[in-house]
Amino acid sequence: MTENFDIGIIGAGPGGYSAAIRAAQRGKRVVMFEKDCPGGVCLNRGCIPTKVILHCADFYKNLKKAEKFGINIENASYSYEKIFERKNNVTQKIKTNLRKLILSHDVVIVDEEARITGKNEITAGENKYECENIIIATGAKPAKIANFETDGKFIVNSDELLELDKIPDNILIAGSGAIGIEWARIFSGLGKNVTIIEIAPTLLPAADAEISARVERLFKKDKIRFFKSTSITKIEKNQVFLDNENVIEADLVLFAAGRVPVLPKIENIELEMDGKFIKTDENFRTNIKNIFAIGDVNGKIQLAHAATHQALGAVDFITRNDPIHFDVLKIPSVVYGNPEIAWVGKTEKQLGGIDYRVSCFPVAALGKAQADDEIDGFIKVLSVDGKIAGAHIVSPEASALIQQFALMIDNEISEENILKTTFAHPTYSEGVFEAILGLGDLSLSMLKVKK
């Protein structure tokens, strides 16, 4: 039996389910295929479960300094088994509600693996689905590391780590991207010994150099060991050998060194590739004009919110022929933990050769930061021709603050007009105001430097 649909979507992660809901809102008949469960990596093995655990670790870490706030708590402890249970309960609740949300829009969900068997045909099990347009949103998975195999116990990837209901005392993490940094903070917050190995010359290498330097400072403060420009040469029993001749004793090794696309099964047609990724044009359309690829699978940027943004753009292009406005540099990035780290726009390195101004406002100058005892961080702003070109933040609430800069950059709002806005006091958002004031040497909270 063959059913007919306007749009068929393979994958029900943030990109897939957002595309399904938007297409239904546009009056289209939609079928979505998911071999696992709705929510994709973000909900099931990434953003949400990790943040549940991270919040628990931060909560415990804050309890240990409660006396500083006049609160007496003795013998604070935690149960990772209960943290693990909370992680499962939260994700299950969201999964249940997400399925209800999708179905409320009359999207047909097929809980089977799908394969593309023609330019307008998707097959799942014994059934065929004729689709005027097809959107591939199959996501990504942890990359395999050359010469090393994970075993789900001693050597693990980020997916396997989330299945462990106990964590040992000595942990080595290979990779200092967002995943590696966040898990280092989790383990350290729970009182574990953590060592990070990074092949690049800086930690968090995708970030601005000033953020990377601050991460190093924060890690030293938290007694997280790290080695830069370093690789693992071999692992024997519980010993990890590095190319700098150090040998690290570890009870657990986490490989957090990137992700690779999950490609759907395709028969009878051939999609053009860009390396490991599906090649698309600026409208996320493949070489077959009615087949689109969004999110991690097209390799433009591997972030859940970027996949959602691409999904909405692709559907509006399909249904209304609206051109897509997607610029990787305008997508905010966030690394969670305490303090949060976030950035959007260009770094100083990317502005090399361009005349720009820079302002870096210390979070410690904010009354809110002093009240919260969260004084380690900064808000850095880069400006070109009177408009914000980049922002880089280490601060509590950085995940929210960065969105203010994303709006400024995306809408090309001038510094002059930004400064007409009133920022509430006492808040961390005042730091946004002060950082922009600093571009003109007009800060109201910094000591005047006499020349």
Q: Which residues are catalytic?
A: 425
How far, in Å, CA of 265 to CA of 134, rounded? 13
Structure tokens at 51: 């943040």
Helix or strand holding residue 15 (H, E): helix 14-25
Q: Report the C-alpha gap between 360 and 343 in whole angstroms.
A: 13
Residue 200 near residue 229 (C-beta atoms within 8 A) = yes
| Pairing outcome for strands 340-345 and 277-278 | unpaired
Nearest residue to 295 (alpha-carbon basis) of 97, 46, 27: 46
Shortest CA distance to 148 belongs to which of 26, 256, 10? 256
Cα 124 from Cα 114, distance rounded (Å):
5
Q: How many residues does the chain have?
A: 451
CA distance 100 to 122: 24
Helix H, strand E, coil C: the string for 206-240 is CCCHHHHHHHHHHHHHCCCEEECCCCEEEEECCEE
Containing 390, the helix (H) or strand (E) segment is strand 387-395
From CA 391, how far away is CA 347, in angstroms rounded?
8
Look up residue 424 and give its two tokens: 């509430």
Please give the Cα distance from 303 to 263 (Å, whole number).
Answer: 17
For 25, other C-beta atoms within 10 Å of its C-beta total 13
Task: Round to whole Å and give the CA distance between 78 and 25.
Answer: 45
Amino acid, res. 209: A
**Do residues 323 and 317 touch, judged by C-beta distance below 8 A?**
yes
255: amino acid identity, one letter? F
